[in-house]
């Protein structure tokens, strides 16, 4: 309908109930006395979005592919988008695809409501599609040994068998919580995945030990299973001292620091053979051997052996036991001091047989003063005994033998008395008797008499008290406890007897 309002220079063309066929170019022309003028305009007829086909609910079996179609018409062509009612992202959807949008739902494997929305400048519409997936199942892994043991250099496969899962789950391996580095194309790795899903290691090493996790996942969830890989390592014993010295009676520990996987068992042996199970030996859980109170018989070679399923290792050490010096006389312990009688001018030996380890150092002293060996009158025998070549009366006194080593010391004293030759003793009554007299040690026996004088000392000291005899003293050989002889050669053994009165030898 064209209208020309009076009194104006305007004209209006009104279109009612516009249809698509009304679209086109319209020209307005004005006629006047001076000529003709015209102008034109283009009319575009738009259309709000609408679905050319209704959207319906969809049911699909798990593992099957499905396409959700959203056919929309409108002018200009509407903008179309897919979304999920629960707000989660929609896999397979990459943005507007025009008036006919197709959603490939191969990965949409759980029940959900999907929304198709269309919009242009003339309007906005949306429709819902309910997708129902049937026949799905959560993943499940077959039980396997939780621990796998191997030796270095061996191939190992860690199983991961999928028992259930629809759709079939994806699988991945973790080591100590971190993804296992698998070989890339044209790359290399000691790890690989076998067709059955197991993780294979060509040649295991100690660094491969750890906790491995197989994880399988599908749309319904995931399942994990752990397996520990233990690499057995042969025992190794830490180096230590080869020679060990102990002191008699002082506790000593022999160390055997062994490592390995699994932890090795430590045992001990000894040569010369000695049972280590007796109470004086204690084997500690860490493999050390404790000897609380070592004795000389504990000395020897000890062998420490560490054993596990991967092998064994041994180490040996030598134990020496330092013993305190012991001094014996004629093979037996003697009381201190020992009285020794020597004959003036006749060779005398003071025994000092010393035992101990390491061999003790023997030192002699006289009256607490070191004995001087500058003179040939004194000499020390290889056994440690002291030999007096020609004892003199002035040699009378206290002699001490002292033996010392790292473990301690011991000493034995001798009270030496040098006896003089036979002197004539004149008695006050007119008779005389021959006696052995040692000046300063005059012990004589005279029946019925109590007053004596010594020739050459007339008017000198006299004895006026009862006198007692001296018991016999024997000295066999030179005081040595052991003698050495050569076959078929003669051997003379001296037997010196001393005492008052003079003893009778049998």
CATH-assigned architecture of domain 48-134: Sandwich (2.60)
Structure-token pair, residue 255: 């160390």
DSSP letter, residue 293: S
16: Cβ contacts below 8 Å, ≥ 6 apart: 1
Does CATH number 3.40.50.620 belong to domain 324-419? Answer: no
Q: Quickly state the pLDDT bin for 102 (edges 50, 70, 90).
A: low
Contacts of 17 (CB under 8 A, 6+ apart): none
Query: Domain coordinates of the chain in residue numbers?
Result: 48-134, 137-231, 234-320, 324-419
User: What average pLDDT does this structure show over 137-157?
Assistant: 90
Q: By C-alpha distance, which of 67, 58, 217 is closest to 138?
A: 217
CATH classification number, 137-231, choose in 2.60.40.10, 1.20.1330.10, 3.80.30.20, 3.40.640.10: 2.60.40.10
d(CA 148, CA 160): 13
Task: State the average pLDDT for the chain.
Answer: 81
Residue 378: per-residue pLDDT: 87
Q: How many Cβ atoms sit within 10 Å of the Cβ of residue 10?
A: 8
Nearest to 478 by CA among 367, 330, 362: 330
Q: What's the fold here for domain 234-320?
A: Immunoglobulin-like (2.60.40)
Q: What is the pLDDT of residues 309-331, one digit of tens each?
A: 989 999 999 999 999 998 887 76
| Diameter over CA atoms, the chain | 213
Strands 47-51 and 67-75: antiparallel
pLDDT digits (tens, 9 = 90+) for 326-357: 888 776 666 778 888 998 889 999 998 888 98
Mean pLDDT of 167-185: 85
β-strands 35-43, 24-32: how paired?
antiparallel
For residue 137, the model assigns a pLDDT of 82
CA distance 394 to 221: 112
* 245 has a pLDDT exceeding 80: yes
Tens digits of residue pLDDT in 443-494: 444 433 434 444 433 444 444 333 445 677 776 665 555 666 777 777 777 7
190: which DSSP letter?
S
Share of the chain above pLDDT 70, in %: 79
- The owner of tokens 């959603």 is 103
Alpha-carbon gap, residue 72 to 51, rounded angstroms: 4
Among residues 322, 415, 328, the alpha carbon closest in space to that of 360 is found at 322
Strands 369-370 and 338-343: unpaired
The Cα–Cα gap between 434 and 497 comes to: 18
Q: Is the model more confident about 51 or about 421?
A: 51
Per mean pLDDT, which range of 188-192, 286-290, 409-413, 435-439 is the poorest?
Answer: 435-439
Predicted local distance difference test score (pLDDT) of residue 481: 57
pTM above 0.75, yes or no: no
pLDDT digits (tens, 9 = 90+) for 347-398: 999 998 888 989 999 999 998 888 877 778 888 888 889 999 989 888 899 9
Which range among 33-42, 90-99, 280-289 shows the weakest confidence by mean pLDDT?
A: 90-99
Q: Are the folds of 48-134 and 234-320 the same?
A: yes
């Amino acid at each position: 309908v064209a209208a020309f309002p009076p009194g104006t220079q305007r004209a209006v063309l009104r279109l009612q109930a516009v249809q698509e066929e009304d679209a086109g170019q319209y020209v307005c022309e004005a006629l006047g006395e001076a000529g003709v003028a015209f102008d034109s305009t283009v009319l575009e007829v738009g259309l709000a979005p609408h679905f050319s086909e209704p959207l319906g609910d969809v049911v699909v079996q798990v593992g099957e592919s499905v396409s959700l179609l959203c056919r929309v018409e409108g002018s200009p062509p509407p903008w179309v988008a897919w979304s999920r009612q629960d707000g989660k992202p929609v896999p397979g959807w990459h943005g507007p695809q025009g008036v006919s949008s197709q959603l490939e739902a191969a990965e949409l494997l759980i029940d959900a409501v999907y929304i198709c929305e269309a919009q242009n400048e003339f309007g906005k519409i949306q429709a819902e599609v309910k997708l129902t997936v049937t026949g799905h199942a959560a993943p499940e892994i077959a039980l396997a040994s939780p621990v796998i043991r191997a030796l270095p250099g061996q191939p190992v496969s860690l199983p991961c068998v999928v028992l259930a899962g629809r759709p079939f789950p994806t699988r991945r391996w973790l080591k100590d919580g971190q993804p296992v580095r698998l070989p890339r194309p044209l790359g290399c790795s000691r790890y690989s995945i076998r067709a059955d899903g197991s993780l294979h290691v060509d040649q295991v090493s100690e660094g491969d030990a750890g906790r491995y996790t197989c994880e399988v996942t599908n749309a319904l969830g995931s399942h994990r299973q752990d397996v520990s890989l233990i690499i057995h390592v042969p025992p190794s014993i830490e180096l230590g001292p080869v020679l060990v010295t102990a002191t008699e009676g002082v506790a000593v520990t022999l160390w055997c620091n062994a490592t390995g996987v699994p932890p090795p068992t430590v045992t001990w042996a000894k040569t010369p053979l000695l049972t280590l199970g007796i109470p004086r030996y204690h084997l500690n859980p860490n493999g050390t051997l404790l000897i609380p109170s070592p004795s000389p018989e504990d000395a020897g070679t000890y062998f420490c052996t560490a054993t596990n399923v991967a092998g064994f290792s041994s180490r040996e050490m030598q134990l020496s036991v330092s013993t305190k010096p012991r001094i014996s006389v004629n093979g037996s312990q003697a009381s201190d001091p020992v009285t020794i009688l020597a004959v003036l001018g006749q060779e005398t030996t003071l025994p000092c047989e010393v035992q101990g380890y390491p061999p003790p150092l023997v030192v002699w002293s006289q009256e607490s003063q070191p004995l001087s060996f500058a003179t040939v009158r004194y000499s020390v025998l290889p056994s440690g005994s002291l030999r007096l070549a020609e004892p003199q009366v002035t040699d009378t006194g206290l002699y001490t033998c002292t033996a010392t080593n790292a473990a301690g010391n011991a000493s034995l004293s001798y009270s030496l008395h040098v006896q003089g030759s036979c002197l004539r003793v004149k008695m006050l009554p007119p008779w005389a008797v021959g006696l052995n007299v040692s000046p300063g040690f005059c012990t004589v026996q005279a029946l019925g008499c109590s007053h004596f004088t010594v020739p050459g000392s007339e008017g000198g000291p006299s004895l006026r008290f009862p006198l007692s005899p001296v018991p016999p003293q024997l000295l066999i050989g030179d005081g040595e406890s052991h003698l050495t002889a050569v076959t078929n050669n003669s051997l003379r053994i001296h037997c010196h007897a001393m005492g008052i009165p003079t003893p009778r030898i049998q």
